[in-house]
Each structure stands twice: as structure tokens, then as C-alpha cells.
Amino acid sequence: MIRLKITGMTCDHCAQTVKKALESVDKVKSARVYFPQGYAEVETEGEVDVKDLVKAVERSGYGAEPLGKAPEVYIPKENLYDLFILGGGSAGFAGAIRAVELGAKKILIAEERIIGGTCLNRGCIPSKYLIETANMLYTPSSNPIPSVRLGRGDLDFKKVLELKEDLLKDLRKEKYWNVLEAYPEIEYVEGHAEFIDSGRARAGDRKISFHRALISSGSRPFIPPIKGINEVPYLTSDTLFDLEELPKHLLIIGGGAIGLELGQAFLRFGSRVSIVEALPEIAMGEEPEIRRRLRELLEREGMEIHTFSKVEEVYHRDGKITLRISKEGKIFDLEGTHLLIATGRRANTESLGLEKVGVDVDQRGFIKVNDFLQTTNPGIYGAGDCINRMLLVTVAALEGGTAVENALLDNKKKVDYLSVPHAVFTDPEVGSVGLTEEEAIRRGFKVDTRILEFSKVPRAIISFRTEGIVKMVIDQETHRVLGVHILAPHGAEIVHRVVPIIKLGLRLEDILDMVDVYPTLSESIKLCAQTFFKDVSKLSCCAQ
């Protein structure tokens, strides 16, 4: 195999011209020309002088020189943007930075909303700030240690919301505006962006031409088609921080992560909270043992939860919001002062001109992509919430960088979603990574599982926080760990102990060979692994 660096190519047609020139040389069997990376690979049927190949390329109007290793770099194009990005959130910025690292010189990000995307402005950052504040208020009154007496704290709800905006302002500057200053190759445009046709787009009031594009336009709350929903003043995770007063009774439609996290936060602020979920249980994406225990703990704390309950109608009367609910053939009303809709997401894609460039979407507007994050238009890729793989900011950043690398260097990388952890930031927290028991069985594994109660974890015992559990799913034949699912104090932190175990395909025996700091909550992972072989209630401290 002979490799050549090719210069002067500006399009795929150029690559085809170089390919024909190389294949015209005697004893050349075939040639592959990689336009984005700017090099060619030549397979021969005998000895060929590299000088003859160089001369053949030069006669076709391009430059060539011998090359050792195939480069992982992108060759910038003239008179057009190397990469056009629709969306200025985590996926878009991660993609732009990766493009600079690969050698792209002209990158344009267009963002219609506030810079920073959903996570920073309307999602994980403000919601976790709210949760942390609520937990701080709640802790004195819920202190589990009998020998300590703490008083009830006071809440200035208006001040809570004011501090949130200051926090977000600082993070926008540090994580986004400062990044733009550090990468002069990235141009940022505030304003609406949409495709005009293949290779052309509108960004703000400008028309631009581009080589490749990344759609990272994010998502927004999905509003279900409930009778009367548009006649009531409902809240979403986007508008929740517009509140001027603490709700007396917050009704929440949706028992997933958003509804549960925000519901518990407001419960701890002092609101009465009622959750209505159409599915059989809350947190239906989690293991049944996890969701049942979580429901038990939330109801013990005072949350009202209705499952298998469908909201048929919503109406607003005398300053109150009423949900008309059907459950098992019966109808009942639930009345509150405020309503939060937490029924999932839909993509921000309807005004991007996707139909003009052949990019297909599903019923909620999510972009259809293949394993390389390539849309139905080969020159356009998708990443982040708008493709509906895993709606996590960490995944969006990973997808953004991966999609851009595939766009500029041809499709080479896939995202490993199996080893990506996720969490639900209730208290206790849910942390999960890998396959659930049901998913593992569906994939054909012969599985075995164990559940460890946190009453067997020394650190939990001395902290009087023994309400947690760990469930481990393994391949019965090889002892490979397929998934670990946690409900525990700091469960979102503990789960990172498991990520490399899933990523590297480790076995139970590998975990048993590891040594933990004692006493720690993360020791629960090793204890759970030990339960496949021993009764941990009969082990001394730190026993193998």
C-alpha cells in the first residue's frame, strides 16, 4: 500500500479526478482518495515508482507527495465554511472545538436562543441548584442522627431565584463566551438559522455556503394534547423559574426524572405536591426494585403519587387548576394552585428547513441518524437532544465531537451508549449504568442478579442513611457485569465506580480483587459483588 498526501482538492469531484489519474499508472490495481483528509491510498499489482504516481497527480492539476501514516486531520476548503453548526449548546460547542483540533479553519455556530443550551440555562444546572437549595433547607428537620438537634431553616424563595440567574450568568461566560475567545476559528452568530438547499444556509441575516453541517438544535418540553391544556397557566421546566411565589399545591403531570426531581424540591420547600403518571409506575426506565423503593420513600416524605392515571381534562377556575383524572374506569378530580408539565421532550427542528435538504425526523421532530450520527443527508450530522438517543449533556458533548469527526474524516467512530451512566437527582439519588435485567434478557444473556440493602454498608449505618439498595446484573456464564443500578444517598456519585467496570467488560472476580477505602458508600459495589458468592451479613469488616 502506497500513501500520498494530495493538495489542491476542494470537492469530491476533485477526489474522483485524482483517483482516475492514479489508476491510469501502470501496475496500479486500485486507488482510494480521501477528500476530507487530503490523502490517497494506492494498491498495486507489482512494483510502482512513487515518482510516477506523483507525476500522474500533477498532470491532473493537483499536488502530491509521499506520506507514511494516514493523517487524522481535515484539509480546509476555500470559499466556504468547513463546518456549519445549528445550535450553541454542549453538542454544538464540543463539535466546534473538535473541528478546530482536526484542522478546520472556518466554523460557524448559529444560535437562536441564549448561548449555552438547555442544560446550562433551563435544565440540569438550574434544577440541581434548586434541588441543592431545597435539600439544604430540609436537612435540619430530617436529621437522622438522634444525638443531634437542629432547627428548621427559613426560606426566601424570591432570593433563591435571583441567585440562580447570577450563577448562570457566570457559567455562560466561563463555559461559552470564554471558549469563543480561545478559539478564533469559531464564529458565533446570534439569530435564526435554517438550510436553504444542499450546501447553503441562512444564519441570522446572512447566507453562507458550507462543506459539512451539524444539527445540535436541542429540545423543549413536550405538551401533551390534553383537553383544556392551552386554557390554563401551566409551567414547564423551561418556565418554572419565572415563578414569583412558592406554590401552595403543585400538580405535576409526569412521573419521570424531571417531575420527581422538581417535585421533591418543592415538597422540601414547603409546597404540597401531587404527581400524576399514566404509566404503571414512576421512573419507568429504572429497575422495578429501584422505582418501588423510591416511590415508598417519596410517599413517606409526603408526596402524593397517582400512577396508572390519565389526565382527561384540565380547567382553571377561581384561581385553582383542576385535573380530571381517569383511573381503572373511575373518574376523580385533583385540585391545586399550580401545574407543571413534565411529560418528556420534543426536538427544536420544525423551522430549520430540514425538508429542503432531505433530513428525516420522527413524529416529535427528533432527527433520524445512523450509528455514525449521520442523517438521511450524508453531508449533515446530528447530535444532542435533537436526535433523542440519551438526553444528557455529557452525551450531547460526546455526540457533538464524534459527529464532527465522522463528518470531516469520513465515518469511523460510534458512540458507546452502554457505558454512559445516568442519574435521577432525588434524595436518595438514582444512579444507573449498563443493562437492566429485562434488557439483558432481551439481548439473549442468561442473567443472574443480586440486590444489596444499604443496611449492610458500614458507612451508611454510621450515617443513619440505610434506605438505599444496589442491584447488580451479570452474565451467569462468564460473570461479566452487565449493569449496576443504585438508589442511595449520593447514588449519582457512586455509579461512577461502576462505569469502567461496564466499559472494560470486567467480571465479578475483577471487582473482588479491588480494594476500597473503608468506610465509604462506594464500597457497596464490592459488597454487592460479594453477595453472588457469600452472605455479606456474616463477613467481618473489609473481608474479601
Over residues 18-64, the pLDDT tens digits come to 999 999 999 999 998 987 678 888 999 989 999 999 999 999 999 99
- From the list 39, 119, 381, 472, the catalytic residue is 119
Q: For strand 330-336 and strand 320-327, is the pairing parallel, antiparallel, or unpaired?
A: antiparallel
- From the list 136, 284, 514, 542, the catalytic residue is 542
- From the list 1, 11, 136, 303, the catalytic residue is 11
Q: Is 11 a catalytic residue?
A: yes
Query: What topology is assigned to 81-221+346-409 in CATH?
Result: FAD/NAD(P)-binding domain (3.50.50)
User: Which pTM does this prediction carry?
Assistant: 0.84
Is residue 484 within 8 A of residue 526, CB to CB? The reply is no
Report helix, strand or coil for 107: strand
What is the structure's pLDDT at 351? 93
Is the domain spanning 422-535 CATH 3.30.390.30? The answer is yes
Residue 418 grid coordinates: 452502554
What is the mean predicted confidence (pLDDT) over 280-306? 97
Q: Is 119 a catalytic residue?
A: yes
End-to-end CA distance of the chain: 53
Per-residue pLDDT at 405 exceeds 90: yes
Is residue 432 within 8 A of residue 418, CB to CB? The reply is no
Residue 46: is it exposed, middle or buried by C-beta count within 10 angstroms (0-12/13-18/19+)?
A: exposed
Domain with CATH 3.30.390.30 in the chain: 422-535
What is the structure's pLDDT at 387? 96
CA-to-CA distance for 348 and 216, rounded, in angstroms? 9
Burial code (b: 16+ CB inside 10 Å, e: under 16) for 68-90 equals eeebebbbbbeebbbbbbbbbbb
Residue 446: is it exposed, middle or buried by C-beta count within 10 angstroms (0-12/13-18/19+)?
A: exposed
Q: How confident is the model at residue 544 (pLDDT cuts 50, 70, 90)?
A: low
Q: Is 124 a catalytic residue?
A: yes
Query: What topology is assigned to 229-342 in CATH?
Result: FAD/NAD(P)-binding domain (3.50.50)
- From the list 14, 183, 315, 390, the catalytic residue is 14
Q: Is 386 a catalytic residue?
A: no
What is the structure's pLDDT at 485? 98
Domain with CATH 3.50.50.60 in the chain: 81-221+346-409, 229-342
Q: Where are the beta strands (DSSP E) in 385-435?
A: 422-424, 429-434
- From the list 62, 74, 81, 138, the catalytic residue is 62
Per-residue pLDDT at 498 exceeds 90: yes
**Domain 2-67, CATH among 3.10.20.30, 3.30.1330.30, 3.40.50.1370, 3.30.70.100:** 3.30.70.100
What is the structure's pLDDT at 374? 97
Domain with CATH 3.30.70.100 in the chain: 2-67
Is residue 502 within 8 A of residue 419, CB to CB? The reply is yes
Residue 454's CB is within 10 A of a number of other CB atoms, namely: 24
